[in-house]
Amino acid sequence: MCTPISKRDSTMRMRPACRGLTPAIGAALLILAGMSLAAVAGPIGFGKVEGPRSYGQVATHGALVPPADNHNMAALPNLAWDSPFFITGVVGPPGRVTVAHRARHKVAVCPGEAAPAPWWTPPPISAPPIPAGVSWAGLRGKVRHPGPWNHDDYFAELLAVRYWGPPLFRVVGYTYASSGIHDPDTCSARGGALTGDQVVPPPSTPPTSYGSVALAHDGGTNTFAVSVAVQGIVPQDLIAASLHVGAPGQVGPIIFALGPGMAWEPLEGGSLGRVVTDAVFPPEYVPALLEGNVYVAIYTLERPQGELRAQLGDLPLAPPSTGDMDCDGDVDFDDIDPFVLALSGEVAYQLVYPDCDWIRADCNEDGGVTFDDIDPFVALIGQ
């Protein structure tokens, strides 16, 4: 574990403003879109905060118009982290939203560390279509640095998608959140979808708002990064948001305040984002976090007792990227040629595969790429 350095000023970079869609207008567009073959991009909001040791980012979308709506957030001027993501939304039936996320640490924070770090490229996540309501998918993972041993970056991401019921059964928007930590001693990645039915007691009138939460906690420094994206709530209506300790179905005290609407970033299409990095987690509540007994709550003028809640549960672990030399999400016979190329050296490999990681060929995890990696690579094929 490295000694933390002082935190740089965090920055939020926003895309140019564009007009949001009200639910009524969105409904009309979805109905008309079923008779149209043209692809029209809808409004997307994006925000990011980063420091040398952690980052968080959020994205929201108020409406999708068929046949497809694609967003590529790959060219933002990041200082400490590269974390592009690519979103494709298709309005059905059945509708589907898929997110492909890549991340890496760009600067050397610890002595002797290689920079930039290898790309972390998990498989895409996609919330399964449902008849109506909010569906979600999440993932966590880590990547080993080619510098000092036991150097990792750790990431969590969560996608929530809202579907309308009959007769459309189509996507009407999504929220996405991701958080990352550099070189955690021990790390827990948690996340969940913000929905009204988790509030205790539930609102008498179910809200149309929803959201995503991704949290990564470093057990060594007891710091954390949390990203929250909310669709359907504007800043003036958000009176408070906070982390609470409490099991599912129970109400507990506030342990970390996320602030009212003025502390949040207004995103496109009537949505909000909040990212906190390098914050200290209350040490007495770390066991509750690890046991899934911490939740995020959103309070609004219309529903001051609680509009949305997300219980922060464990997320599925992304498959390891070791041996995936063509960066397609698996290790198969298509990886043999790029693996052989990696044996010839990092420069030759990166010329052909500039967006992949040469160090993925280190299949025996000894810190280098040599002929000793051949047998472990062969063992990975088809697993």
CA–CA distance, 112 with 18 (Å, rounded to integer)? 45
Distance from CA of residue 255 to its chain's centroid? 23
pTM of the model: 0.78
Residue type, 316: P
Cβ neighbour number for residue 72 with a 10 Å cutoff: 11
In 3D space, the residue among 60, 258, 76, 281 whose CA is nearest the CA of residue 177 turns out to be: 60
Q: Which long-range contacts (CB under 8 A, 24 or more apart) does 284-293 make?
A: 285/245, 285/255, 286/217, 286/219, 286/222, 288/245, 289/188, 289/190, 289/217, 290/188, 292/190, 292/247, 292/248, 293/245, 293/246, 293/247, 293/252
CA–CA distance, 383 with 375 (Å, rounded to integer)? 14
Q: What is the pLDDT of residue 146?
A: 63
CA–CA distance, 65 with 214 (Å, rounded to integer)? 27
Tens digit of pLDDT at every position of the chain (383 positions): 332 222 222 323 332 222 233 333 333 322 233 322 223 345 678 888 888 889 999 999 887 766 677 777 765 667 888 888 888 887 666 778 888 887 888 888 877 777 777 777 777 899 998 888 999 999 998 776 666 655 778 889 999 999 887 766 788 889 999 999 987 777 789 999 999 999 999 999 999 999 999 999 998 899 999 999 999 999 999 999 999 999 999 999 999 999 999 999 998 767 899 999 999 999 999 999 999 999 999 999 999 999 999 999 999 988 767 888 888 777 899 999 999 999 999 889 989 987 677 878 888 867 678 999 999 899 988 76
Give how far Cα 348 sits from Cα of 109, 268, 334, Å: 27, 43, 18
Q: What is the pLDDT of residue 284?
A: 97
In 3D space, the residue among 135, 184, 132 whose CA is nearest the CA of residue 159 turns out to be: 135
**DSSP SS3 for 197:** helix
204 Cβ neighbours under 8 A, 6+ residues apart: none
